[in-house]
Structure 1
Amino acid sequence: MSREQEWVDEEAGPVVRPYAVARGRTRSSSPSIDLLATVAPTGLPVPGKAELSVQHRRLLAFVAGRGRAVAEVAAELNLPVGVVRVLLGDLLDYGLVQVRMPVGKGASPTESLLREVINGLRAL
């Protein structure tokens, strides 16, 4: 049986365990993949050395056209987020996708700013 084929039971659906989809890996090669990060294709051709599974190809097809959040990709592919992160790490390594962190992630207010706002509100 080739790598591209999935084992499917008509009533139960896919019977391949998530760890098998990720080839036994539990961590992504890129630690910066956040749940709310946006994934978009780069448009580059698939390198000859790339070993893309059916799930890699499904992920690429889903994000084609417009960026999607990592959580949205996991829900659509019906895979655990950890597995999606591993697959995205592979695609990042091949240069097939780009991952953008959510806007404003690093711009959260500091504690001192929040205290100033509270004090200003109390003064009203």
Structure 2
Amino acid sequence: MAAAGDGPWLDEAAGRLVRPFTVSNGRTRPSVALDLLSQVRTTGATPPGPLGPEHAQALDLCRSPVPVAEVAAHLKLPAVVTKVLLSDLVDCGALTTKPPEYQHNPTDRALLEAVLDGLRRQL
């Protein structure tokens, strides 16, 4: 059943009726370089003009630092669409971003094995 307020944009059988590319106005490239592990956080600045519902949801999620991948998961949107939305908010000064900090080389074999081990334990 659709949640209250979802209106005609969510159908129980079909799912989301608005296609992801319409959320980003057809754009597929964010204006700001964002990694899936980049941290985004609100700045407290109010974006100029009205926001779309996804932009407002993203701002609400980013009250504390959160990775781009987590925002995408909560919004139930593809990562590239989420990056476009977040870059819109960075461009207008409502969000700030911090690149991921790797303590090690991100392609270090030991690091990748530790991630794989952690994922296996979760399953």
- TM, length-normalised to structure 1: 0.72
Native 8 Å contact 1:33 1:85 kept in 2: yes
Aligned pairs for 1:49-88 within 5 A:
50-64=49-63, 66-88=64-86
Gaps of 5+ in 2: 1-6, 107-123
Task: Detail structure 1 runs of 4+ shifted over 3 Å in the superposition.
Answer: none
Q: CA deviation at 1:102?
A: 1.2
Q: CA deviation at 1:12?
A: 2.8
Structure possessing the higher radius of gyration over alpha carbons: 1
Alpha-carbon distance change, 104 to 79 in structure 1, aligned in 2, over 3 angstroms: same
The secondary structure found in structure 1 opposite 2:41 is: strand
Q: RMSD of aligned C-alpha atoms?
A: 2.0
Superposed CA offset, 1:48-69 (max 9, x none)? xx342100001011111x1100
Gaps of 5+ in 1: 110-124
Residue 95 of structure 1 corresponds to 93
Residue 110 of structure 2 corresponds to none
Query: How many angstroms apart in 1 are the aligned matches of 2:97 and 2:9?
Result: 30
- TM, length-normalised to structure 2: 0.73
Query: How many angstroms apart in 2 are the aligned matches of 1:79 and 1:6?
Result: 18
Superposed CA offset, 1:30-64 (max 9, x none)? 1x2111000100011222xx342100001011111
